[in-house]
């Protein structure tokens, strides 16, 4: 509960002391939402003045006090239970009793969730921007390596030849979906709960749409109880970020393996050496990025566990829901940028890749397909080539021997041996796979063009969202100045 007394404490004396005060305090974590809280305070005061709920002179004094508090910074706040109370106390210290009018027609319940949404949407936009950068790097790499043959793997075993372009484009598609999930989460985050008060609204004639617009929200969470208590937007955001972190983890893992195999050489800026073994070049940045999936998954799991079974409306459990979330989004965004930089500056070893693409009988499927295309049932063709591969190196001769054993007729009765030799060549094998989504350059090239079009649209969407928030911030500053 609050009152309008000036001084360094606005809590009732009955609750002002005791051993639990530090346990209740969230001041250490609330720096994340300091700027957001000041914006919420300003928008709320502007609306209160416009609605004749607070006299203009008092509104002006409060806004001046908020400017001074902003200039003093977070470290200049008085001790308090949370940042909201600290700012209100600081306002009352500067303005006197009239400063207590700032909290008219609101509760810390709607205030804090509004602040979280403001801070989170900024982090989500930063994470989205990081995915756009990574997608650009992946598409550029794919463009440069349309014909660079490489081994493809399943179960980490040589499977079929592919190209670096096809491989990189596969990750671009995955990151594009991560971008879409972040956009979707942003839509739900960017709705204003301000004006819900504790959970039952307020008798004052407030204008919730006005504060929503001043703070750059695209809409409102209309039901006051839902607005004050729900944190499902955190779950959705955490899920989107965990999905991105999982994509990044897989990409980083591949980079680590490829560096180990000599397929990829990382730039020194994205590697480190051993403190004792001077010959080492360790892919540390990729390893840290790979591990970020654990952090993101932990945050999502923690949120789900914290929020499970909470009764309506507000519960103090919610106090711990947002700090880890904001830090995790920022950390995953940084990992995304780091992986993008590592790939952009890395060098692919075309010779090592081509050599590896021919290892382990990786073209076997292509030969089986060739037999199937010439009348041999695919399952039978599969058995022929499996038998040939089991004998050692997959060659035209070993395939001919296996064909005679399994088919009862010479290989030449089914297919020309020159065609078999061509099918065994990794480059020819890749070129033959020109169906939609395949690795052949003729299939990858139009896919890259389409991906670029989607990326351009997503980039414009991202810029539009940033512009809307910037315009709202300018409008709020102009209204604050007008009152002042």
Q: What helix, strand, coil percent values describe the chain, rounded to 5? A: 70, 5, 25
Its sign, for the CA torsion 299, 305, 308, 312, is negative
Give the CB-side neighbour count of residue 277, counting CA atoms within 13 A. Answer: 6
Its sign, for the CA torsion 100, 104, 108, 113, is negative
**274 catalytic residue (yes or no):** yes
Q: Which residue of the set 22, 155, 391, 462 is catalytic?
A: 155
Q: Which residue of the set 16, 22, 274, 391 is catalytic?
A: 274
| DSSP characters over 313-379 | S--GGGGGSSHHHHHHHHHHHHHHHHHHHHHHH-EE-HHHHHHHHTSTTTTHHHHHHHHHHTT--HH
- Angle (nearest 5°) at CA 77 between 75 and 81: 115
Are 133 and 248 a contacting pair, CB within 8 Å? no
What CA–CA distances, in Å, run from 131 to 171, 229, 256, 344, 445?
11, 31, 20, 14, 21
DSSP-assigned beta bridge partners for residue 152 = 160
Element (H, E) at 152: strand 149-154
**84 catalytic residue (yes or no):** no
Backbone phi, psi, residue 157, to 5°: -105, 145
The 3-state DSSP class for residue 156 equals coil
Residues taking part in catalysis: 155, 274
């Amino acid at each position: 509960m609050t009152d309008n007394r000036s001084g360094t404490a606005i809590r009732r004396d009955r609750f002002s002391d005791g051993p639990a005060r530090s346990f209740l305090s969230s001041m250490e974590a609330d720096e994340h939402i300091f700027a957001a809280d000041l914006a919420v305070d300003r928008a709320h005061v502007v609306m209160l003045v416009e609605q004749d709920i607070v006299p203009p002179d008092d509104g002006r004094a409060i806004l001046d006090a908020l400017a001074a508090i902003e200039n003093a910074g977070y470290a200049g706040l008085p001790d308090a239970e949370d940042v909201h109370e600290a700012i209100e106390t600081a306002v009352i210290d500067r303005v006197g009793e009239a400063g207590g009018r700032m909290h008219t027609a609101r509760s810390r319940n709607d205030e804090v969730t509004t602040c979280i949404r403001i801070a989170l949407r900024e982090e989500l936009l930063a994470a989205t921007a990081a995915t756009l950068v990574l997608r650009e790097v992946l598409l550029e790499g794919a463009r440069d390596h349309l014909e660079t043959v490489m081994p493809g793997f399943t179960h980490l075993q040589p499977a079929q030849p592919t190209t670096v372009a096809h491989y990189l484009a596969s990750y671009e598609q995955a990151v594009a979906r991560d971008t879409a999930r972040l956009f979707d989460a942003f839509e739900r985050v960017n709705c204003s709960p301000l004006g819900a008060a504790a959970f039952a609204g307020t008798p004052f004639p407030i204008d919730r749409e006005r504060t929503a617009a001043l703070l750059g929200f695209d809409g409102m969470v209309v039901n006051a109880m839902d607005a004050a208590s729900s944190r499902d937007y955190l779950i959705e955001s955490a899920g989107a970020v965990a999905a991105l972190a999982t994509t990044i983890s897989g990409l980083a893992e591949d980079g680590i393996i490829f560096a180990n195999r000599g397929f990829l050489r990382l730039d020194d800026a994205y590697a480190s050496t051993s403190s004792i073994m001077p010959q080492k070049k360790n892919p540390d940045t990729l390893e840290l990025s790979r591990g970020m999936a654990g952090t993101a998954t932990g945050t999502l799991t923690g949120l789900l566990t914290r929020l499970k079974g909470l009764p309506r409306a507000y519960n103090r459990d919610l106090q711990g829901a947002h700090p880890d979330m904001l830090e995790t989004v920022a950390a995953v965004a940084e990992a995304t940028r780091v992986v993008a930089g590592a790939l952009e500056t890395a060098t692919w070893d075309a010779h090592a890749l081509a050599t590896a693409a021919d290892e382990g009988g990786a073209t076997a499927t292509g030969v089986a397909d060739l037999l199937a295309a010439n009348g041999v049932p695919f399952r039978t063709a599969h058995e022929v080539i499996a038998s040939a591969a089991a004998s050692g190196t997959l060659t035209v001769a070993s395939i001919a021997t296996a064909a005679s054993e399994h088919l009862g007729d010479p290989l030449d009765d089914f297919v020309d041996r020159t065609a078999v030799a061509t099918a065994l060549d990794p480059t020819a094998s890749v070129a033959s796979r020109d169906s939609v989504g395949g690795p052949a350059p003729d299939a990858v090239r139009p896919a890259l063009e389409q991906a670029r079009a989607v990326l351009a649209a997503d980039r414009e969407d991202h810029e539009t969202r940033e512009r809307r928030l910037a315009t709202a911030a300018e409008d709020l500053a102009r209204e604050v100045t007008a009152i002042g």
